[in-house]
Structure 1
């Protein structure tokens, strides 16, 4: 795959080098598994177990020149090859009533504060002076059941999430159900999503006026969102823990108009899966990056590094989905991302399995580590949505924030609309 990426993007080295283009791609990918060390140390981890072989000993500047030589195109091509839904990645456990449930949302990545980076990526202003580093906005389409990436786009934060979202719509297909938050409930965007043939379940602002065209026995009602006919579900959700109860009002709109096949209560429960994309971002930014700033100090280098991160994340998620598929009935949620990530790091250091066998092993070494340490079935828990990485290491003034995760139960009440 790497050789094909280099051939298609015309980045194969023109002469024999100590650092062939293929090796440089491996280096950039391996760096995503070891964000805590510099590229020379990544090189040492990548080659440390190859004793007895005539190995190159490139300097830091040679590694930098090699990364600039191949650019971002091979990594972009690799991500284009690896992304997207595949049957083994999306077993029945990842579907709802035959529909592949996917989520759309955005996040930001922090990049170095250098003059070159600031020519494209800016710092975000805020009430407390803004961010200290420039940031990149990343928007992804994620399969909720396996948290694999169907597609992703990124760019400066000067453009909002709804500006980037249309670039992901070509990856939507009939048979998909897209979950999205209130930010994406613009009439034009909803119409464009519906035009792809995919269905939609999106949250609306509670105060948004929706005409009641007809009522359904399950408490939902037919309405319109711009030119698109939708079914609206107004509901009250009560979350109960040992710390007390919390009640919230939600308004959801869906293009699934048949209340017999898609009951309002089930749709309300299903919408909670939108948070799977937040978990995917947590794995990318916290588990892999450890909250660190990206390495690259130029816009082209940042593009290369982000595509490498997406490729590594997708490879790990693919391994995890393949491994759990070998045990029928196993929910992909039970595969631990940290376990797969650590096993991959170990494989790099040990240089194990670098010669492919003729027998296809779907689980693989990383997958077997995952299967040996499956997580227990998921429990319903809640945790406050707060900034876990504080600006200051000192205790902030004000009331103490309860960061405890509580086991919870939920109650759903469908609210019928009032009026004619």
Structure 2
């Protein structure tokens, strides 16, 4: 452990991925180092904020007890809740943002079909919302959303992320009020795109200018378009796709019918995809339609953030600045867990990162914080570590295609709750893809 007043400043084994020197650099760069050595040094407060994201079910005093529970025999202070709140306000959100900017990025060292496709790093762009406390201070910046079920009971933050599909690591993220739409936030993520990537996005991001701006970064695009959108047919290809244009940008359009078959029946949907990959020989239409399914990895990443880590809870912070601080801490912790998982699977050649259990990694990280174990790395490099060994010891089976009805599981209003007649069964499924060539000569 660190000595003296700095002893409570750790994150268990995850400290090896965000070591003392890194946190000190963040504090120095953002001028958030304490002017005098206090009972709660700024470095300790940063680790408290990060640990708080591993234990969202308890207040910061409870998090402090978890950080110090294994430090028997060391002179550890017992701060009050107000002292912890004052310390969090003192350092602000800038050190957490600095850490996120340093740690974000794809971990492309693993193996698996979803990491790269024809040599291109597969990434996805999408948005979600995070629920925050309903306080007068929060409502000055974040608002509640109206809806068919009485609207949301709490204000919400819109979070938009760029995710590496194969490892679900965060490449970049932005967030702000829900009064601003996803397509307005999206351009702020474009500087993180570069040649050698292929970006997957849903229909909301199919605007002409946005697709052209994405293509201008050098990254390739595979975006879904609305089925009724009229697209000019400039040339036809043998694989059923055709050359078209989005404004001044040439794209290849793929119309396909996807049929999902289960023991409960069949479901068929029409998809229209547009891509900047114009060579139908190198990138056939059927392969691109199959690749688009990888876009759902970003939905799984959001599930891990909001369900596994937060457990559907409202964030703790009760001011706009505190919300910024907490969200950046949450993004840092998620990235640390995903990095630890990718490092572990990379030690077993051929192991798809999809088989690593996020829940196991999260629970192992929590246990190691309580034990204050693995804080400082040994002299021998251990890529897997205790977290990784737990993950590798209980790998998930090879992914099978399953489907489940898309329903509201937690109704916003009890009067609008879905009844028990909804079929909540997950079915094993098979898919069929048929490319629909446009009519005409």
TM-score of Structure 1 vs Structure 2, range by shorter chain? over 0.9
- Aligned partner of 1:105 in structure 2 is 126
Q: CA deviation at 1:402?
A: 1.0
Is the 8 Å Cα contact of residues 235 and 244 (structure 2) preserved in structure 1? yes
Q: CA deviation at 1:90?
A: 7.0
Q: CA deviation at 1:87?
A: 4.1
Q: Does residue 404 of structure 1 match 2:425?
A: yes
Aligned residue among 76, 80, 96 for 2:117: 96
Aligned residue among 137, 142, 149 for 1:116: 137
- Report which stretch shifted further, 340-349 or 85-94: 85-94
Match of 2:382, SS state, is coil
- Aligned partner of 1:67 in structure 2 is 88
Q: Does residue 43 of structure 1 match 2:64?
A: yes
Aligned residue among 378, 384, 399 for 1:357: 378
- Aligned partner of 2:283 in structure 1 is 262
TM normalised by structure 2 equals 0.93
RMSD between aligned alpha carbons?
1.4
Aligned residue among 285, 289, 312 for 2:333: 312
Is the 8 Å Cα contact of residues 103 and 143 (structure 1) preserved in structure 2? yes
Is the 8 Å Cα contact of residues 107 and 167 (structure 2) preserved in structure 1? no
- Aligned partner of 1:369 in structure 2 is 390
Q: CA deviation at 1:407?
A: 0.4
Pairs within 5 Å for 1:270-285: 270-285=291-306
Is the 8 Å Cα contact of residues 90 and 100 (structure 1) preserved in structure 2? no
Is the 8 Å Cα contact of residues 382 and 406 (structure 1) preserved in structure 2? yes
Aligned residue among 172, 176, 181 for 2:193: 172
TM normalised by structure 1 equals 0.98
- Larger relative contact order (C-alpha < 8 A, sep ≥ 6)? 2
Alpha-carbon distance in structure 1 between the residues aligned to 2:205 and 2:181: 11
Alpha-carbon distance in structure 1 between the residues aligned to 2:59 and 2:53: 11
Q: Does residue 161 of structure 1 match 2:182?
A: yes
- Aligned partner of 1:286 in structure 2 is 307
- Aligned partner of 2:225 in structure 1 is 204
- Aligned partner of 1:385 in structure 2 is 406
Is the 8 Å Cα contact of residues 2 and 22 (structure 1) preserved in structure 2? yes
Match of 2:151, SS state, is coil
What is the count of residue pairs matched by the alignment? 420
Deviations 1:26-56 (CA, angstroms, capped at 9, x unpaired): 0000000000000000000011000000001
- Report which stretch shifted further, 79-88 or 266-275: 79-88
Q: CA deviation at 1:128?
A: 2.9
- Aligned partner of 1:144 in structure 2 is 165
- Aligned partner of 2:45 in structure 1 is 24
Q: CA deviation at 1:394?
A: 7.8
Q: CA deviation at 1:127?
A: 2.5
Match of 1:152, SS state, is strand
Describe the shift of the 1:93–1:231 C-alpha distance in structure 2 as closer, same or farther (beyond 3 A): closer
Alpha-carbon distance in structure 2 between the residues aligned to 1:54 and 1:195: 57
Q: CA deviation at 1:406?
A: 0.6
Q: Does residue 336 of structure 1 match 2:357?
A: yes
Match of 1:361, SS state, is coil
Match of 1:294, SS state, is coil
Is the 8 Å Cα contact of residues 340 and 388 (structure 2) preserved in structure 1? yes
Alpha-carbon distance in structure 1 between the residues aligned to 2:185 and 2:260: 33
Describe the shift of the 1:358–1:64 C-alpha distance in structure 2 as closer, same or farther (beyond 3 A): same
Is the 8 Å Cα contact of residues 108 and 115 (structure 2) preserved in structure 1? no
Which blocks of at least 5 consecutive residues in structure 1 are unaligned?
A: none
Alpha-carbon distance in structure 2 between the residues aligned to 1:394 and 1:31: 34
Alpha-carbon distance in structure 1 between the residues aligned to 2:242 and 2:376: 59
Match of 1:307, SS state, is helix
Q: Does residue 130 of structure 1 match 2:173?
A: no
Describe the shift of the 1:366–1:393 C-alpha distance in structure 2 as closer, same or farther (beyond 3 A): farther
Match of 1:88, SS state, is coil
Which blocks of at least 5 consecutive residues in structure 2 are unaligned?
A: 1-21
Q: CA deviation at 1:286?
A: 0.2
Q: Does residue 57 of structure 1 match 2:71?
A: no
Describe the shift of the 1:398–1:282 C-alpha distance in structure 2 as closer, same or farther (beyond 3 A): closer
Describe the shift of the 1:89–1:310 C-alpha distance in structure 2 as closer, same or farther (beyond 3 A): farther
Is the 8 Å Cα contact of residues 111 and 346 (structure 2) preserved in structure 1? no
Aligned residue among 28, 33, 45 for 2:54: 33
Match of 2:49, SS state, is helix
- Report which stretch shifted further, 195-204 or 126-135: 126-135
